[in-house]
């Protein structure tokens, strides 16, 4: 029999649930459910009107069936009917059904909203509560449209009951999360902030969540919440454990509220007012002190609640990153937790210490716990805790302890859980590279990685070791010797064969003097692995063989014999067959000189961001690898931002058809823009191909592209073709990023000039259309088109122009611009007109870009770096490393930054070669503070072609950082 049910209502429901529970099989259950569904359907359709109670019961049964995991496709209407019942329980079940089974049926939404509206207006707090719960549970856009204006009023009205205020606050929060654009800021915001002072702690608890989320988006508007939150927090932490009555939880005063307040404070920098700041520091100290006091209860709830507040306080301390004393105390506290008997605390301490490790004030303090963390790696029984230990070791690693940490990670890797092996491999590879004092250690480490966990060594890892060996001649001999030795193992991992094949092909000559590793021995060793390898590895080995032909003429015939064998020349795989044929011909026909040129040693790879790092970021999400941002700062030479290498099939690029003449084969790679003069290495060249070198020929040619696009306009577009040639090559726009006036477009018929001005979030643009011919343009219709996405963020108004433009005449059109919110794309200007009987149709992008709504902000060096630090979450920062397209000229660069719209801050960056700027993007809905820093890499390479810039944008909004960075990168 069912357990006693309180407020005992629906017996029929209890019986039904019992029946379901008694079903012996899934089939029996489904049968019972179908019977019930048929019954309910007939009741709903029946002639007899159902009373409220029955309706409630059946709706509840449907809900139960749905929660069992079955689909429900009827009953919504009956549930909506219940909403307007005067009986509380019927209404309540109706709302529950709607909350769980929302249906986007628009007709119903209208009815639901109507019922909600009535309940909100009822002034009955219990009905209002139900209605607000429903809005908060559903949170749809339609509901936001209907109620986002009403709820703030309920929230701040003087006569609203406390419980209703609580629901209203969280209801508004939900709507703000789903549809921020529909929640208008206004008078109510300041009154909401004052809810932090409310007498009712439940109201404060609910309001704090709302304020925190609003403050994240509108920090200025909610600035006053800081001092209010500090004083509230202070009153809580200093209260006696009984003061707060029912808000004290296991002797901890208001833990939920404390955590929320500490969270709110993390939206802001340390308070500027010394009194507030002092009070906050006291609070934080009190919380740290309490952690040392003996527990007031043995219950785990007591320690959990207390430590929840402590961990949140530590998060705030780390966020402020300004009080060395507190940071070190936090670190010591976490150090105690590392050895706590509660697994949960050890886990959290490891996690929290990871962030402490990245603060300069506490990095050293964190390092003192290295032995404990290593021990955790060995003894923790829970893989998720071990994973945290790996993360922490990685975060605390620096030059002083790298050897130890890498060794321990390698040790652990032997027995590590499969689920985290790949990540450990990446971490070891990164640390080994970052802190390699001596590259022999690096090579050993990577080979160890392949030996221990070869299956988890991704391509990025072995690409990287090859890049480094090629670029560092001091390690090449050692690398050749080491891979040769490693290859002696009877069963070695295929990744080792790849690395070995590549390295011996390049540097096998460095160890060939030793009779134990003579050319023939090297070749036989590699070839003994050949048949066990996959096709790509075999392809790579064939390239190694042809390189051997050049390095070791004495074994040329042996290699030719292998290439000539049926298993190569007639291989079923086209790529292998092609390589064998070509390499064989090449070795037969080409002179020694040509061979030496074609098969020359690989030139150094351009330095780039480690693709391993990119991989780890992708794997872990950006937030977990923030500490590695330093890597870039440490290696000034590492100035190439290209992403992972993209493998391209060699035959697509450099290999002509098998019948092509052989000199052509040699010539192809030379005409290729890739720096490698070797076709044999082409697979690898492609694998490493630098995306920026591909882009390079395009970028500086903006003028050329422009000219060619106007040719296009005069030859092809001047036709009846309705197809639009959109001149959206962003070059047109890039010309106008840093200036407002100029010629946008010109062909043989038409010239389009622009003049524009912008102020805050408004702008006006004059477009001048000049008829360059002596004939009239008829039906002249320029239209400005915004994509759907753009329409919501950019409001453009234009007036039509005279449809006739006389020969030689110029007409003018005004566009009024209002920026509503930040945006990515540019609007398109489409122009159609008749010229001499043919319809002309062309489109160009209008240079209305986000930076036009920039207002410069001057600030001191101290302010700049303080703000810089505040915007340090990985989502706020976007960085681009790119090659200079123009000669580096300080004055021109400065002018461009000012033209971009930001203030140019002089004497702010400690490095005088760098440029920093600051400003605010004004949109109607929000203002976004932006900081930028441009670092030219002067000392890198001597050639102009290799001059690099690193541009960093930090703003409070990821999309804005991204867009501004894109726009500005094109300018230098």
Partner 1 sequence: MSVHMQFMLLFSRQGKLRLQKWYVPLSDKEKKKITRELVQTVLARKPKMCSFLEWRDLKIVYKRYASLYFCCAIEDQDNELITLEIIHRYVELLDKYFGSVCELDIIFNFEKAYFILDEFLLGGEVQETSKKNVLKAIEQADLLQEEAETPRSVLEEIGLT
Near partner 1 in 58-117, by CB under 8 A: 60, 63-64, 67, 69, 71, 87-89, 92-93, 96, 100
Question: Parallel, antiparallel, or unpaired for β 828-835 and 838-845?
Answer: antiparallel
Size of the site for partner 1 (CB under 8 A): 85
Rounded to the nearest whole angstrom, what is the least distance from the CB of residue 124 to partner 1 in the complex?
10
> What CA–CA distance (Å, rounded) separates 865 from 882?
24
DSSP assignment string, 343-354: HHHHHHHHHHHH
Per the listing, tokens 């002509």 go with: 656
- Residue 802: closest CA among 827, 769, 824, 774: 769
> What CA–CA distance (Å, rounded) separates 442 from 464?
11
Given the complex with partner 1, which of 385 and 416 has the nearer CB atom?
A: 385
Among 116, 192, 228, 254, the residue binding partner 1 under the rule CB under 8 A is: 254
How are the residues of the chain apportioned to helix, strand and coil, as percentages rounded to the nearest 5?
Answer: 60, 10, 30
Rounded to the nearest whole angstrom, what is the least distance from the CB of residue 383 to partner 1 in the complex?
9
Tokens at 258, concatenated: 């404390």
Rounded to the nearest whole angstrom, what is the least distance from the CB of residue 923 to partner 1 in the complex?
24
- Nearest-5° angle of CA 132, CA 136, CA 137? 115
What is the footprint of partner 1 within residues 847-886 (CB under 8 A)? none
Rounded to the nearest whole angstrom, what is the least distance from the CB of residue 233 to partner 1 in the complex?
12
Given the complex with partner 1, which of 138 and 546 has the nearer CB atom?
A: 138
- Residue 586: closest CA among 619, 542, 621: 542
Tokens at 16, concatenated: 């039904």
Among 232, 260, 329, 608, the residue binding partner 1 under the rule CB under 8 A is: 260
What is the footprint of partner 1 within residues 200-229 (CB under 8 A)? 201-202, 205-206, 208-209, 212-213, 216
Contact (CB, 8 A) for 693 and 702: no
Rounded to the nearest whole angstrom, what is the least distance from the CB of residue 87 to partner 1 in the complex?
5
Given the complex with partner 1, which of 137 and 297 has the nearer CB atom?
A: 137
Among 305, 317, 497, 683, the residue binding partner 1 under the rule CB under 8 A is: 305
671 to 814, 848, 942, 946: CA distances (angstroms): 49, 40, 23, 20
CA atoms within 13 A on the CB side of 402: 18
Given the complex with partner 1, which of 111 and 126 has the nearer CB atom?
A: 126
Given the complex with partner 1, which of 117 and 133 has the nearer CB atom?
A: 133
Q: CB under 8 Å to 107, separation ≥6 — which residues? A: none
Contact (CB, 8 A) for 336 and 313: no
Rounded to the nearest whole angstrom, what is the least distance from the CB of residue 331 to partner 1 in the complex?
19
Phi/psi region, residue 472 (left: phi>0; alpha: psi -120 to 50; beta: rest), is beta
Rounded to the nearest whole angstrom, what is the least distance from the CB of residue 922 to partner 1 in the complex?
27
Rounded to the nearest whole angstrom, what is the least distance from the CB of residue 90 to partner 1 in the complex?
8
> What CA–CA distance (Å, rounded) separates 551 from 960?
53
Given the complex with partner 1, which of 284 and 492 has the nearer CB atom?
A: 284
Per the listing, tokens 């461009």 go with: 896
Which one of 345-353, 505-513, 713-721, 838-846 is the stretch in contact with partner 1 (CB under 8 A)?
345-353
30 scored as a contact of partner 1 (CB under 8 A): no
Q: CB under 8 Å to 478, separation ≥6 — which residues? A: 439, 440, 443
Rounded to the nearest whole angstrom, what is the least distance from the CB of residue 79 to partner 1 in the complex?
13
What is the footprint of partner 1 within residues 176-205 (CB under 8 A)? 177-178, 201-202, 205
622 scored as a contact of partner 1 (CB under 8 A): no
> What CA–CA distance (Å, rounded) separates 959 from 936?
24
Among 312, 423, 731, 935, the residue binding partner 1 under the rule CB under 8 A is: 312
> What CA–CA distance (Å, rounded) separates 401 from 420?
22
Given the complex with partner 1, which of 237 and 254 has the nearer CB atom?
A: 254
Length of the chain: 972
Among 3, 572, 723, 942, the residue binding partner 1 under the rule CB under 8 A is: 3
Among 249, 823, 882, 900, the residue binding partner 1 under the rule CB under 8 A is: 249
221 to 170, 193, 233, 785: CA distances (angstroms): 19, 10, 21, 34
Tokens at 904, concatenated: 């140019």
Tokens at 605, concatenated: 């790879």
381 scored as a contact of partner 1 (CB under 8 A): yes
Rounded to the nearest whole angstrom, what is the least distance from the CB of residue 578 to partner 1 in the complex?
43
> What CA–CA distance (Å, rounded) separates 338 from 345?
7
Contact (CB, 8 A) for 835 and 749: yes
Element (H or E) spanning 843, and its range?
A: strand 838-845
2 scored as a contact of partner 1 (CB under 8 A): yes
Tokens at 543, concatenated: 């390239």
Given the complex with partner 1, which of 346 and 427 has the nearer CB atom?
A: 346
Rounded to the nearest whole angstrom, what is the least distance from the CB of residue 49 to partner 1 in the complex?
15
Burial of 549 (0-12, 13-18, 19+ CB in 10 A): buried
Among 139, 152, 270, 919, the residue binding partner 1 under the rule CB under 8 A is: 139
Which one of 133-141, 468-476, 486-494, 885-893 is the stretch in contact with partner 1 (CB under 8 A)?
133-141
Q: CB under 8 Å to 37, separation ≥6 — which residues? A: 62, 65
- Partnered with residue 766 across adjacent β-strands are 755, 814
295 scored as a contact of partner 1 (CB under 8 A): no
Rounded to the nearest whole angstrom, what is the least distance from the CB of residue 121 to partner 1 in the complex?
19
Site map (CB under 8 A) of partner 1, residues 383-422, x = contact: -xx-x-----------------------------------
Among 11, 123, 194, 755, the residue binding partner 1 under the rule CB under 8 A is: 11
> What CA–CA distance (Å, rounded) separates 439 from 613?
19
41 scored as a contact of partner 1 (CB under 8 A): no
Given the complex with partner 1, which of 312 and 970 has the nearer CB atom?
A: 312
What is the footprint of partner 1 within residues 146-175 (CB under 8 A)? 163, 166-167, 170-171, 173-174
Rounded to the nearest whole angstrom, what is the least distance from the CB of residue 243 to partner 1 in the complex?
14
Among 224, 238, 289, 301, the residue binding partner 1 under the rule CB under 8 A is: 301
Among 131, 192, 331, 348, the residue binding partner 1 under the rule CB under 8 A is: 348
> What CA–CA distance (Å, rounded) separates 543 from 929?
53
Among 23, 54, 231, 693, the residue binding partner 1 under the rule CB under 8 A is: 54
Tokens at 331, concatenated: 């670190």
Which one of 234-242, 245-253, 659-667, 802-810 is the stretch in contact with partner 1 (CB under 8 A)?
245-253
DSSP assignment string, 904-951: EETT-SSSTT-EEEEEEEE-SS-EEEEEEEEEEE-SS-SSGGG-EEEE
Rounded to the nearest whole angstrom, what is the least distance from the CB of residue 46 to partner 1 in the complex?
12
DSSP assignment string, 163-211: HHHHHHHHHHHHHHHH-GGGS--SHHHHHHHGGGG-S-HHHHHHHHHHH
Among 188, 251, 256, 865, the residue binding partner 1 under the rule CB under 8 A is: 256
621 scored as a contact of partner 1 (CB under 8 A): yes
Contact (CB, 8 A) for 175 and 183: yes
Rounded to the nearest whole angstrom, what is the least distance from the CB of residue 166 to partner 1 in the complex?
5
Among 17, 614, 790, 801, the residue binding partner 1 under the rule CB under 8 A is: 17
Given the complex with partner 1, which of 376 and 805 has the nearer CB atom?
A: 376
Rounded to the nearest whole angstrom, what is the least distance from the CB of residue 64 to partner 1 in the complex?
7
Given the complex with partner 1, which of 214 and 650 has the nearer CB atom?
A: 214
Rounded to the nearest whole angstrom, what is the least distance from the CB of residue 616 to partner 1 in the complex?
15
């Amino acid at each position: 029999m069912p357990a006693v049910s309180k407020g005992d209502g629906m017996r029929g429901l209890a019986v039904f649930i019992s029946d379901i529970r008694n079903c012996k099989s899934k089939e029996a259950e489904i049968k019972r459910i179908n019977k019930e569904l048929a019954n309910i359907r007939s009741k709903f359709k029946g002639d007899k009107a159902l009373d409220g109670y029955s309706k409630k019961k059946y709706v509840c049964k449907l809900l139960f069936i749905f929660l069992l995991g079955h689909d429900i496709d009827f009953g919504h209407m009956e549930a909506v009917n219940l909403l307007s019942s005067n009986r509380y329980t019927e209404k309540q079940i109706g709302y529950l059904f709607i909350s769980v089974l929302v249906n986007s049926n628009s007709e119903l939404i209208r009815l639901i909203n109507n019922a909600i509206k009535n309940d909100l207006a009822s002034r009955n707090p219990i009905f209002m509560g139900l209605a607000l719960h429903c809005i908060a549970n559903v949170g749809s856009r339609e509901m936001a449209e209907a109620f986002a204006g009403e709820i703030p009023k309920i929230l701040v009205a003087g006569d609203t009951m406390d419980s209703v205020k609580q629901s209203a606050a969280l209801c508004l929060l939900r709507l703000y999360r789903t549809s921020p654009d529909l929640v208008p800021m206004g008078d109510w915001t300041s009154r909401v902030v004052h809810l932090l002072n409310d007498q009712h702690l439940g109201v404060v608890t609910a309001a704090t969540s709302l304020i925190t989320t609003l403050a994240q988006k509108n920090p200025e508007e909610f600035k006053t919440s800081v001092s209010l939150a500090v004083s509230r927090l202070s009153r809580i932490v200093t209260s006696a454990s009984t003061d707060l009555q029912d808000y004290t939880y296991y002797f901890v005063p208001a833990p939920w509220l404390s955590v929320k307040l500490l969270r709110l404070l993390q939206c802001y920098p340390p308070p500027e007012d010394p009194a507030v700041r002092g009070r906050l520091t006291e609070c934080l100290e009190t919380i740290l002190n309490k952690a040392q006091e003996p527990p007031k209860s043995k219950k785990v709830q007591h320690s959990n609640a207390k430590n929840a507040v402590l961990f949140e306080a530590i998060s705030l301390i780390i966020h402020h990153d300004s009080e060395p004393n507190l940071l070190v105390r936090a670190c010591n506290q976490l150090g105690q937790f590392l050895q706590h008997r509660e697994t949960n605390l050890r886990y959290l301490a490891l996690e929290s210490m990871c962030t402490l490790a990245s603060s300069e004030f506490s990095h050293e303090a964190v390092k003192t716990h290295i032995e404990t963390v290593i021990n955790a790696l060995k003894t923790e029984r829970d893989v998720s805790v071990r994973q945290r230990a790996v993360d922490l070791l990685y975060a605390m690693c620096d030059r002083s302890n790298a050897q130890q940490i890498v060794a321990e990670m390698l040790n652990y890797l032997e027995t590590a859980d499969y689920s985290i092996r790949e990540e450990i491999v990446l971490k070891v590879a990164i640390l080994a590279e970052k802190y390699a004092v001596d590259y022999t250690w690096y090579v050993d480490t990577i080979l160890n990685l392949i030996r221990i966990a070869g299956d988890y060594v991704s391509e990025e890892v072995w690409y990287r070791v090859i890049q480094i060996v090629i670029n560092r001649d001091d390690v090449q001999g050692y690398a050749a010797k080491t891979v040769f030795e490693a290859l002696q193992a009877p069963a070695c991992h295929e990744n080792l064969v790849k690395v070995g094949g590549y390295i011996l092909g390049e540097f096998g000559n460095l160890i060939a003097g030793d009779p134990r590793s003579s050319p023939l021995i090297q070749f036989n060793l590699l070839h003994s692995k050949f048949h066990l390898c996959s096709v790509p590895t075999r392809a790579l080995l064939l390239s190694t063989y042809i390189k051997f032909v050049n390095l070791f003429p004495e074994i040329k015939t042996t290699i030719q014999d292998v290439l000539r064998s049926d298993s190569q020349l007639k291989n079923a795989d086209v790529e292998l067959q092609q390589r064998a044929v070509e390499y064989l011909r090449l070795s037969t026909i080409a002179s020694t000189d040509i061979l030496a040129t074609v098969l020359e040693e690989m030139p150094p790879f351009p330095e780039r961001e480690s693709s391993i790092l990119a991989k780890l970021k992708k794997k872990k999400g950006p937030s977990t690898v923030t500490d590695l941002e330093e890597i870039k700062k440490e290696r000034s030479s590492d100035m190439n931002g290209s992403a992972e290498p993209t493998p391209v099939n060699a035959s697509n690029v450099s290999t002509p058809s098998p019948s092509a003449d052989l000199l052509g084969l040699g010539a192809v790679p030379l005409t290729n823009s890739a720096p490698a003069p070797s076709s044999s290495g082409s697979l690898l060249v492609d694998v490493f191909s630098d995306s920026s070198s591909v882009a390079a020929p395009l970028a500086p040619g903006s003028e050329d592209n422009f000219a060619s696009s106007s040719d296009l306009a005069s030859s092809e577009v001047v036709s009846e073709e309705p197809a639009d040639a959109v001149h959206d090559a962003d070059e047109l726009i890039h010309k106008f990023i840093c200036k407002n006036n100029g010629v946008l477009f010109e062909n043989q018929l038409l010239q389009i000039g622009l003049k524009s001005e912008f102020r805050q979030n408004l702008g006006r643009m004059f477009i001048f259309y000049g008829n360059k011919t002596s004939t009239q343009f008829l039906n002249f219709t320029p239209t400005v088109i915004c994509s759907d996405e753009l329409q919501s963020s950019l409001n453009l108004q234009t007036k039509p122009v005279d449809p006739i433009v006389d020969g030689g005449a110029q007409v003018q059109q005004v566009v009024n611009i209002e920026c509503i919110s930040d945006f990515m794309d540019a609007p398109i200007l489409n122009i159609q007109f008749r010229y001499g009987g043919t319809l002309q149709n062309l489109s160009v992008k209008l240079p209305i870009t986000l930076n036009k709504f920039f207002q410069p902000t001057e600030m001191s060096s101290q302010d700049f770096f303080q703000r810089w630090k505040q915007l340090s979450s990985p989502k706020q920062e976007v960085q681009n490393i790119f090659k200079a397209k123009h000669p580096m000229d300080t004055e021109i660069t400065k002018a461009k930054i000012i033209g971009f719209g930001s203030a140019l801050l002089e004497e702010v960056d400690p490095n005088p070669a760098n440029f920093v700027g600051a400003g605010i993007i004004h949109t109607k809905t929000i203002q976004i503070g932006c900081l930028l820093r441009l670092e030219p890499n002067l000392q890198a390479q001597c050639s102009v072609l290799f001059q690099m810039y690193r541009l960093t944008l930090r703003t409070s909004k990821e999309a804005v950082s991204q867009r501004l960075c894109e726009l500005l990168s094109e300018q230098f």
